């Protein structure tokens, strides 16, 4: 019998890690065909996996670091340096301040949009912990969002 698991797919990652079975894949494909939803959405809708399982598998598929943040991982002093409106706009969370640097977690879709705008601002620098593809920039510690 030929496998319905496509190499490199979301289903492949979940299957290889024994999170789902081939029967689960077949059920999700059927749901996807019926509703037009995405494969991961079908798995969640059917109650086969959680959204966190999908997020983790997507991060593996796209080779993007996955971090599950907990409230005690966030430095309140760092949070006070970034206006709430700016944090929401760019989907970012200040994590820790060390001297004149602040480490942030930022959604991948927002990175390209946020970094150039923040790089023009003086004050507290930030660096992404994810290597060479990450950008550095600067954010200011006032209560207004960057222009």
* Largest Cα span, the chain: 63
From CA 29, how far away is CA 9, in angstroms rounded?
13
- The model carries a pTM of 0.54
From CA 121, how far away is CA 28, in angstroms rounded?
47
Each of the 147 residues of the chain gets a pLDDT tens digit; together they read 455 656 678 999 999 999 999 999 999 999 999 999 999 999 999 999 999 999 999 888 888 777 777 888 889 888 988 889 988 888 888 888 888 888 888 775 533 444 444 443 333 444 444 333 333 333 333 323 333
Q: Do residues 139 and 123 make contact, with C-beta atoms less than 8 angstroms apart?
A: yes
Coil vs helix vs strand at 117? helix
124 - beta bridge partners? 139
What's the pLDDT score for residue 44?
A: 96
Query: Nearest-CA neighbor of 61 among 29, 23, 17?
Result: 17
What's the pLDDT score for residue 37?
A: 95
What's the pLDDT score for residue 23?
A: 96
């Amino acid at each position: 019998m030929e496998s319905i698991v496509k190499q490199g797919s979301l289903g492949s990652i979940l299957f290889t890690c024994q999170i789902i079975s081939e029967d689960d894949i077949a059920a999700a494909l059927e749901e996807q065909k019926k509703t037009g939803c995405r494969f991961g959405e079908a798995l969640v809708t059917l109650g086969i996996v959680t959204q966190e399982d999908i997020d983790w598998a997507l991060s593996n598929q796209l080779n993007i670091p996955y971090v599950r943040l907990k409230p005690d991982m966030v430095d309140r002093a760092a949070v006070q340096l970034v206006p709430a409106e700016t944090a929401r706009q760019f989907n970012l969370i200040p994590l820790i301040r060390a001297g004149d640097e602040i480490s942030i977690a930022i959604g991948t879709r927002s990175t390209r949009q946020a970094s150039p705008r923040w790089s023009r601002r003086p004050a507290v620098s930030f660096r992404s912990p994810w290597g060479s593809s990450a950008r550095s920039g600067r954010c200011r510690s006032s209560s207004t969002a960057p222009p």
